[in-house]
A and B are shown apart, each in its own frame.
Chain A
Amino acid sequence: MSSEWPLWEVFIRGQHGLNHRHVGSLHAPDAEMAIKNARDVYTRRNEGVSIWVVRSSEIAASSPSDKGPLFEPSNSKVYRHPTFFDIPEEVGHM
């Protein structure tokens, strides 16, 4: 039964050169089947060239209650954003 299978987080790389992106999660008894299931559940519309799976329980996450101390200090530090430079046309998209 799926209730006995651990949860896995699935990361798919859409194209060569891009990063793997988290696309969702699924249940599977082990990594091999998690990859097979990920192929069947998350790459049906030609989304991927590479799959990573990781046990959900292995992911360490920040706590929502720490949101203030973690993220708010950077709000007031606009100088960290490189918005004060004029980017020459020739450089194109960065």
Chain B
Amino acid sequence: MATLDLAVDQAALFECLLRLGDNTLVLGHRVSEWCGHSPVLEEDIALANTALDLIGQTQLWLGLAGEVEGKGRTADNLAYLRDAAAFRNLLLVERPNGDFGQTLMRQFLFDAWHFEMLTALTRSADKRVAEIAAKALKEVAYHLERSSDLVIRLGDGTAESHRRMQRALDDLWSYTGEMFVTDDADKAMAEAGIMPDPASLRGPWEARIRDVLAEATLAVPTGTYVHKGGRKGVHTEHLGFILADMQFLQRAYPGATW
């Protein structure tokens, strides 16, 4: 157990750890919904692997969040016993799966951000954060390689796959801006050298996605409207349905184990 650094705002650290863990939890759940339904067996297994990577990262982030909070809540408590308003994930990750193209585009837009975020977190002043980030980064580097490759193949594929990928990009674009919004908790973390200022990730993120989207022959949308709220607990109606599904067992049979 690391000693409590009194100079660091523990409430802000808790908040920002929830954001990291809730992103991977909700996206992991979303991706796992494809299990048994993917277009081909190989993709089914690949998506299940991605979902499991994300759930594994969730255990680490929410485990640390519970430790920082100091009220005895475990990763499982945080995942299964909070209501929607207490979730801090980006709205992007709770978007419905849609067709395979929409799922892949969401994954790509998130992976590109996740990669930059984790890369910055490996330099965190908090050793616990840096260690989790280093472990997760290896998994996410592969997620990004895979989703970039598929976005290029489908964007620059048939007329039908191109149309679907462009539609997916247009639909999801207004949900990407939330990744780069900075609030007081982020500022506190950035000043303490624990996490990067989200705004600082926009440059490298945008450079990467522009490269990939150009190769995919997809047009980057020009809209500037940003849907936001997820990081403060204001969610779309979709999160409630995700939680109803994900939390049912623990809510109906509290403390059930197997």
Contacts and interface: CB of A to CB of B under 8 A. Distances in A.
Given A1-B39, A1-B40, A2-B40, A41 B45 contact: yes
A27 B42 contact: yes
A27 B39 CA distance: 12
A36 B146 contact: yes
B79 to A, nearest CB: 23
A51 interface: no
Contacts of A5: 40
A40 B42 contact: yes
A37 B149 contact: no
Contacts of A41: 41-42, 45-46
A48 B146 CA distance: 19
Given A32-B149, A33-B149, A40 B49 contact: yes
Contacts of A2: 39-42
Contacts of A12: none
B149 A40 contact: no
A37 B153 CA distance: 15
A57 to B, nearest CB: 18
Contacts, number: 33
A36 B148 CA distance: 13
Interface in B153-183: 153
Nearest to B47: A40
A5 B153 CA distance: 14
B160 to A, nearest CB: 13
Nearest to B43: A37
A33 B146 CA distance: 9
Interface in A22-65: 26-29, 32-33, 36-37, 39-41, 44
B39 A37 contact: no
Contacts of A28: 42
A39 B143 CA distance: 12
Interface string B39-69: 1111001100100000000000000000000
A37 B42 CA distance: 6
Contact of A36 (B40, B41, B46): B46
Contacts of B142: 39
Nearest to A34: B42
Contacts of A27: 40-42
A83 to B, nearest CB: 44
A8 B146 CA distance: 19
A44 B49 contact: yes
A2 B49 CA distance: 20
A57 B42 CA distance: 19
Nearest to B41: A2
A37 B43 CA distance: 8
Contacts of A44: 45, 49
A40 B40 CA distance: 13
9 contacts: A27-B41, A28-B42, A32-B149, A36-B46, A36-B146, A36-B149, A39-B142, A40-B49, A44-B49
Given A1-B39, A5-B40, A33-B153, 11 more contacts: A1-B40, A2-B40, A26-B41, A27-B42, A33-B149, A36-B46, A37-B46, A40-B45, A41-B41, A41-B42, A44-B49
Interface of B: 39-42, 45-46, 49, 142, 146, 149, 153
